[in-house]
Structure 1
Amino acid sequence: MRAGWSGLCTCTTSSGPALSESGSISAEGPGTGPDLIVVPARFGSSRLPGKPLLKIAGRTLLERVVAVAQLAAKQAQNCSVLVATDDPRIADHAQTIGADVAMTSSDLDSGTMRAFAAAQQHSCPPRRIINLQGDAPFIPATIVADLMQTLRAGYADVTTPVFCLDWARLDRLREHKRTAPFSGTTCVRDSHGRALWFSKSILPAMRNEHKLRTAPLSPVWQHLGLYGYTMPALEWFATASPGHYEQLEGLEQLRFLEHGWAVATVEVDVPAYVLSGIDTPEDLAKAEEAITQFGDPYPA
C-alpha cells in the first residue's frame, strides 16, 4: 500500500519563518542540485559502540541502510545518497560499498545536525533532504521515496512517517521497553495528521484498555526513524536552540513542535520484520531472527 499524507499543515511561529496555508515556507526552497537522502552514521554509540559496522546476516548495518537509501533514490528519481560521519573507519567502509561520504564534525549532537552539515558540503545544494537514521535497516524503500514525494508536493516543510500498532505489536513494544526503555518512539496526532507530540513513553495512556482491545488496532502510533525537510526548515533547525523537552526525551523533532512548527505525519504500512531501531545487542539478535523468519528484504 502506498504511503499517504494525512492532511495539510498550517502554522505561524515567531521563532521561525511563517508557513503558508499549505504549511510550506517555499515549495521549492533554495538549491539547484538533486534532492538528497542523508544517512548519518556515528561510531561512538554509547549502547552499541561501532554500530554501523556490526553485521546482520553477513552485511553491516550501514551497508543495509545504504541499500535502502539507494533504492529509494532510484524510485524517487533526481535524488542522491550521502553518508555523513565523523569517523574514518565508517567513511572507508561507506566508500567500499559504493556510497558517497561527507565528513562532519564530531561535535555535532544529532543526526539532523549531521545531515545539515552534509547537505551544506554538497557541491549542488539540495532543496529537500531525507534524514534516514543509520540504525533502520529494514525500512521499505518505498516509504523513503514517498516521504520525498510528500516534500515535493509542497504540503509541509517537515514530514515523518508513522504507523498504527495492532495490539500484538503494542504488547511487543511494551515488553521491549522493559529492557530498552528508550527504544521506540510513539506519536500523538491531531485530526489532520499533524504531530501533537513525540515521546519515548508509550502515548496515549489508556483507560479501560480491555474494552479498546475489541478493535483490531490500538490507538498508539509508532514513529519510524526518518525525517524529511525542506532546506529552509533544516537551516532553521540548525540555528535554533534545543527545546527543553527535546533534551529530556532525546528527540530532536521536538525542537520543531516546541517552537510552534507543524510536523506532518505520513501514514504508512510497515511489514512485520521492520524493527524500531538497532540499539542493543539484543536488537541485533532480533534482526537476525527476523531475516531467518521473513527472509532478507535487501539481499546482497
Structure 2
Amino acid sequence: MPLLVVIPARAGSTRLPLKPLLPIAGVTLLHRTIAYARRALADMPKVQLIVATDHEAIAAHAREFGCDAVITDAAIATGSGRALAAARLSPTTPEIIINLQGDAPFQPISAPAAIIHALSTRDADVATPVVRLTWEALDALRDHKRNTPFSGTTCARAANGRALWFSKKIIPAIRNEGQLRSAVEPCPVWRHIGIYGYRRDALERFEAGPASELERLEGLEQLRLLELGLRIEAVEVSPAPFDISGIDTPADIVRAETLIAAHGDPHF
C-alpha cells in the first residue's frame, strides 16, 4: 500500500528557535532524525521519506543529506497537520501516513515498523508506540518531571492495546505502589513514544476539527483524536538505548550529549 513517512520540522520553537538545525554532539537534530528514519525503514525500501518544514534553511539542510523536503504553511499548529500537508503535496495518494516527529531521534528503532504493521493488520485508525516502564525508569521519569513537568508523556492502555488516554502527568495513579513493588509486579505505567501512524481518512478528520480544550490544556494533539472517537492502537515496543523522549529544552540537549558521551552514539 502507498506509504509516506514525514518528519515535521518546524522552525518556530519558543524555547529552541530553529531547533532542527541545533547540533547535538556535533550532529544537527534534523540530521539525527533523518538517520534514525533511514535505519528504522531500512527493510522498507519503497517507503517515501520526506521532511515537512516551514523554513527554507531547514528544507535545504534536509536536502544536503539526500532527503526530500517540502515547505508547508507556518500557520500549521501540529506535527500531524504538517504531515497531512506533506501528504497532500505528494504525487501519490498515501493510504498510511507516518509522523516521525522531528525532535525525537533517540526513539526505539523498532517503532516505525511496529506501527506500520499494526495499521496493516489491526482495526485501528491510528497507531503509536509505547514502552512499559520499569520501576527504576518510573523513578527517573518522576525525577525528570520535577524540573521539566511537560517533558515526557504517559499512556493509559487497555489490555487489548487500545489507548484510553494520554497525559503529561504520570498515569495511572498507583494505589498501594509499595506492595506492587514488593511483590515484583510489573510497573503499570506506559511511556508514550511520539511517533504516529494514521490512516489517511483519520488524519483528514483530525485536521478538519478544531483543537479541543483538553488538547490545549495538555499540549497533546492525540487527545483530539480520542475526542473524535477514533481508535488509537498503543503498540508495545522495546525501549531505546537512551531513555529520552525528545528535545524540548536546552537541558534536553545537555542530557542527550551526556548520554552519547557515556554510551556512544546510537546512529553515527
| Shift of residue 114, structure 1, vs aligned partner | 0.3
The count of corresponding residues between Structure 1 and Structure 2 is: 267
2:124 maps to which residue?
A: 156
Write the distance in 1 (CA, Å) between the matches of 2:152 and 2:185.
Answer: 21
**3-state SS of paired residue (2:124):** coil
Q: Is it true that 1:83 corresponds to 2:83 in the alignment?
A: no
* Structure 2 unmatched runs, 5+: none
Map residues 84-123 of structure 1 onto 2, 5 A cutoff: 84-123=52-91
Residue in 2 that maps onto 1:285: 254
- Structure 1 consecutive aligned stretches of length 4 or more whose deviation exceeds 6 Å: none
The one of 134, 148, 151 equivalent to 1:180 is 148
- Superposed, 1:231-246 pairs within 5 Å as 231-246=200-215
Q: 1:165–1:221: 8 Å Cα contact kept in structure 2? A: yes
Instruction: Provide closer, same or farther for how the CA distance between residues 154 and 220 of structure 1 changes in structure 2, counting only shifts above 3 A.
Output: closer
In the other structure, the counterpart of 1:222 is 191
Equivalent in the alignment of 1:259: 228
Deviations 1:239-280 (A, max 9, x none): 122222111111111111112111111001113414111111
SS at match of 2:149: coil
Percent of paired sites with the same residue: 51
- After superposition, the C-alpha distances for 1:205-225 in whole angstroms (9 at most, x for unaligned) are 122221122226321100001
Query: Residue 263 of structure 2 corresponds to which residue in structure 1?
Result: 294
Deviation at 1:284, TM superposition (A): 0.5
2: CA distance, partners of 1:179 / 1:50: 23
* CA shift for structure 1 position 154: 4.5
In the alignment, which residue of structure 2 is the partner of 1:25? none
Deviation at 1:51, TM superposition (A): 1.3
**Separation (CA, whole Å) in 1 of partners of 2:231 and 2:199:** 13
Q: Distance in 2 between matches of 1:95 and 1:148?
A: 25
2:239 is equivalent to residue 270 of structure 1? yes
Q: Which has the higher contact order (CA 8 A, sep 6+)?
A: 1
Equivalence for 2:139: 171
- Following superposition, the deviation at residue 199 of structure 1 comes to 0.3
Structure 1 residue 51 corresponds to structure 2 residue 19: yes
d(CA) in 2 for partners of 1:200 and 1:47? 18
2:29 corresponds to 1:61: yes
